[in-house]
Structure 1
Amino acid sequence: MEMLQDYIIYILLALGIAVLVLFILCIILFLKLNKQKKKYDFFMGANRRPSHNLEMKIEKYYETSKSIEEKYGKLLDMVTDMDKTMRSNIQKVGLIRYNPFDEMGGNLCFALALLDGEDNGIVLNGIHSRTGSFTYAKPIQMGVSIYMLSEEEIKAVEMAKERAYHPEHEKVVKVKFKPTFRRKDKDPIMEEQMHLEAKVEEEETKKEYNAELGDVTLAEKEQIFQEEMIASQIAQVEVLNEETEVAEKDLVEGNIFQEVPVFTEKQVENQEQEEKE
């Protein structure tokens, strides 16, 4: 007990120092907390105008982004409709000038092909001669015609096909909104999966584009064109054969009708002579 009384002064002194240190630490923490509170109030816009309030700003930005997304969707639909309309407009032109007559100078005749995005349209053939100028039109469906085309008309159609319109900003326009970035996207497996999904989307886009063109490749178009040419040639040959047969029949019938009166007159003369005798 006496020893405790001897050291009690030191104990009280140590406790006083500890309380003083804790008091100083509390003051420091209070100052720091007050400073952080001021920063937070300034950042959140407390006790300020509503236009400077962070919550109001975030809400305003959200509404703006939502309206932009809606407008983007409408613009995307509009551009898609315009793209479909563009495919049905004349956008491929092929012009060939030629001279089919040796006695005339200059390439005054022409073959003009006007096609849309799906290779449908017309081919015009203008022929200029000394007797006059004549223009003929033939329909084109999927790059081929049901009528026989001349060499110049075929060249004009092929030239028009080569001048197809390819939009440069199609991928930019058809961009879709991506989800928010996540940490697992950095995983290599996730990156590989995203790469495969992008490949699948690209293949589907190509299939849709081919479907819009009628699922007809260039080789199939050429085959259809050759078959149409052969069919038109066969039809022309059949028409010529029918005309030849009709002409031969007309000649045969004409000869018969010419011979019948002569034969009848001879018979009449012979009968008259027999009667006189």
Structure 2
Amino acid sequence: MDYNSLSNYINYNLPIIILILVILFIVITIFSITLLISNKRMKKRYNLLMKNADKSSLEEMIRSYQRKIDTSYVDTKLAIEELKLLSNQINHCIQKVGVVRYKAFEDIGSDLSYSVAMLDNKNDGVVITSIFGRNMSTSYAKPISKGTSKYALSDEETFAMNKALGLEKK
């Protein structure tokens, strides 16, 4: 093909070539507008994400959040261990108390004698009794293990322990 034949071919098909170029131009223009809109949306998202960032990169911000997550994970594990320790300690603290005041002797005017049962979560503890008389006063303690004592308990001590255990109405 020589120059004249190419020129004749172009001149003969010029309307078709122009139509194809116009269609390509429209397609490229639509594609460019779509890219611009997409880029604008992406920039909005990025600006929203980086809103409170100190002009550092997104990668540095993600690293910072990862460090915070790692620190929070370690802190959470420590808190759980502390909670387990506290829970174990609480089981050994006095949690149940029953108090009974009574008149131990007929010649004393009011309820000066008392028995106090103090138990932990496993029903271990002590019953403390104090008996007041006109001329004397006596106090003693009896250990409690799993809700029972190896020493004989008086009716008042048993009542105080049952109150602590929730078996008697207060």
Q: TM-score range by the shorter chain?
A: 0.7 to 0.9
Using the alignment, how far apart are the partners of 2:57 and 2:36 within structure 1?
A: 20
Structure 1 counterpart of 2:120: 116
Using the alignment, how far apart are the partners of 2:45 and 2:110 within structure 1?
A: 81
SS of 1:153's partner is helix
Using the alignment, how far apart are the partners of 2:61 and 2:90 within structure 1?
A: 42
Higher relative contact order (CA 8 A, sep 6+): 2
Indicate yes or no: 2:160 matched with 1:147: no
Indicate yes or no: 2:91 matched with 1:87: yes
Unaligned regions of 5+ residues in structure 1, if any? 1-7, 164-277
Q: How far apart are 1:154 and its partner, in Å?
A: 0.9
Q: Which has the larger radius of gyration?
A: 1
Indicate yes or no: 2:104 matched with 1:100: yes
Q: How far apart are 1:142 and its partner, in Å?
A: 0.9
Which amino acid is the alignment partner of residue 92 of structure 1? K
1:25 to 24, 27, 37: 27
Q: How far apart are 1:102 and its partner, in Å?
A: 2.3
- Which has a greater percent of strand? 2
Q: How far apart are 1:128 and its partner, in Å?
A: 0.7
Unaligned regions of 5+ residues in structure 2, if any? 1-9
What is the number of equivalent residue pairs in this alignment? 154
Q: How far apart are 1:32 and its partner, in Å?
A: 2.4
Using the alignment, how far apart are the partners of 2:58 and 2:30 within structure 1?
A: 29
SS of 2:73's partner is helix
Identity rate, percent: 29
Give TM-score, length-normalised by structure 1. 0.50
Q: Is the 8 A contact 2:104 2:132 kept in 1?
A: no
SS of 1:122's partner is strand
Using the alignment, how far apart are the partners of 1:33 and 1:145 within structure 2?
A: 85
Structure 1 counterpart of 2:4: none
Indicate yes or no: 2:38 matched with 1:36: yes
Q: How far apart are 1:141 and its partner, in Å?
A: 0.6
Which amino acid is the alignment partner of residue 22 of structure 1? L
Using the alignment, how far apart are the partners of 2:101 and 2:89 within structure 1?
A: 30
Using the alignment, how far apart are the partners of 1:50 and 1:39 within structure 2?
A: 22
- Which has a greater percent of helix? 1
Structure 2 counterpart of 1:231: none
What aligned pairs does 1:131-146 form with structure 2 within 5 A after superposition? 131-146=135-150
SS of 1:110's partner is strand
SS of 2:99's partner is strand
Q: How far apart are 1:34 and its partner, in Å?
A: 3.5
Q: How far apart are 1:56 and its partner, in Å?
A: 2.2
Q: How far apart are 1:12 and its partner, in Å?
A: 3.5
Using the alignment, how far apart are the partners of 2:54 and 2:130 within structure 1?
A: 74
After superposition, the C-alpha distances for 1:4-60 in whole angstroms (9 at most, x for unaligned) are xxxx988542442232022122022123213433543564579xx874432222222
1:16 to 15, 18, 27: 18
Q: Is the 8 A contact 1:93 1:112 kept in 2?
A: yes
SS of 2:81's partner is helix
